Amino acid sequence: MKTRQLTHARLLEKVVYDPDTGKFTHLGRRRPKVGQFDKDGYVKISIDGIKHQAHRLAWLYMTGSYPPADMHVDHRNAVRDDNRWQNLRLATYAENQAYRLASASSGPGRGASGVRGVYWDGRKERWFVQIRANKKVHCGGYHVDIASAAIEAAALRNQIQNERVAP
């Protein structure tokens, strides 16, 4: 956590946030462009000598307060520099981790499919569908091709989401 907490009032004095584009601009500067990418692909903005993540600043700007300590500001589309207001939501740590992008490595192997929840099983030489949610493992079976496995993974995620929403 930062040593000096940025207040909503101070944020409004320093920058302007456009919720439609997700961009910040400095007030009263010749070069109003603000922010730079960190090593993980998130936009960082320096205010009063302290770097802040842009998505957390967007939350502070729009709501007037930081998210609760046990919640994260999550990007709905998993694009780390897309800080449009409609793309941001509060999520628990588990929810935030559930929507991580699959590994971009190439070739068969765990996580190498590029599809979330689809893994290669070298012993059976088949694609395996497995989704973890709510501290449970949900299996979608084995598939010969990755396309059918991807469809099954999406259907299984939708089923889990619908079960979670239903009373």
Domain final residue, candidates 63, 95, 127: 95
Are residue 69 and residue 110 in the same domain, yes or no?
no
Closest CA to 102 of 124, 123, 131: 131
Range of the domain at 67: 8-95
Are residue 83 and residue 161 in the same domain, yes or no?
no
Please report, for the chain, how many H helices and E strands are present, in that order: 4, 10
Q: Are 62 and 40 in contact (CB under 8 A)?
A: no
* Model confidence, pTM: 0.60
Tens of pLDDT along 61-90?
A: 999 998 888 999 998 888 888 999 999 999
Are residue 105 and residue 84 in the same domain, yes or no?
no
Are residue 13 and residue 82 in the same domain, yes or no?
yes
Domain final residue, candidates 95, 117, 140: 95
Q: Are 5 and 18 in contact (CB under 8 A)?
A: no
Asked if pLDDT for residue 109 goes beyond 50, the answer is: no
Q: Is residue 40 included in any domain, yes or no?
A: yes
